[in-house]
Structure 1
Amino acid sequence: MKELFAHLPDILMLAGAAAISFGAGMVSMPAGWIVGGAFALAGGVILARGDK
């Protein structure tokens, strides 16, 4: 159970990014892909910098 709580912030951020991308996709399909790609790029930059 402690392991789950250690990963909970990451899980919540991923779920939030997915929900925002899905919501943008409901408004406009290309916007959903663009928002999802922007989140993927931002996550990659953060991981590459080692800020996590």
Structure 2
Amino acid sequence: MEKKWKTALRRRGAELALAAGAAAVAAGAGLIYLPAGLIAGGLLAIAGAALSILGGGGGR
């Protein structure tokens, strides 16, 4: 079971880091001004989806 988690984390680690960073940026902007946090979160979600689609993983 632990091996499956390590394999999954190795495959999706970059995507998890991207999502965590985007959430942190959106939350920080939301602490300053809530609409800015919502807009930043939406833009980062769109950028993350585009990067995920374009990245593709290289067929590993």
Superposition TM-score tier, normalisation by shorter sequence: 0.7 to 0.9
Percent sequence identity over aligned pairs:
36
Name the count of aligned residue pairs.
50
Residue 40 (structure 1) shift: 1.8
TM-score normalised by structure 2 residue count: 0.71
For structure 1, list consecutive stretches of 5 or more residues without a partner in the other structure.
Answer: none
Tell me the C-alpha RMSD between the 2 structures: 1.4
Residue 6 (structure 1) shift: 1.3
Instruction: Tell me what 2:28 maps to.
Output: 23
Name which of structure 1's ranges 11-20 and 33-42 shifts more when overlaid on structure 2.
33-42
- Could you list the structure 1 runs, at least 4 aligned residues long, displaced by more than 6 angstroms after superposition: none
For structure 2, list consecutive stretches of 5 or more residues without a partner in the other structure.
Answer: 1-5, 56-60
Name which of structure 1's ranges 23-32 and 38-47 shifts more when overlaid on structure 2.
38-47
1:51 aligned onto 2:44: no
Work out which structure has the larger RCO, using CA pairs closer than 8 Å and 6 or more positions apart in sequence: 2
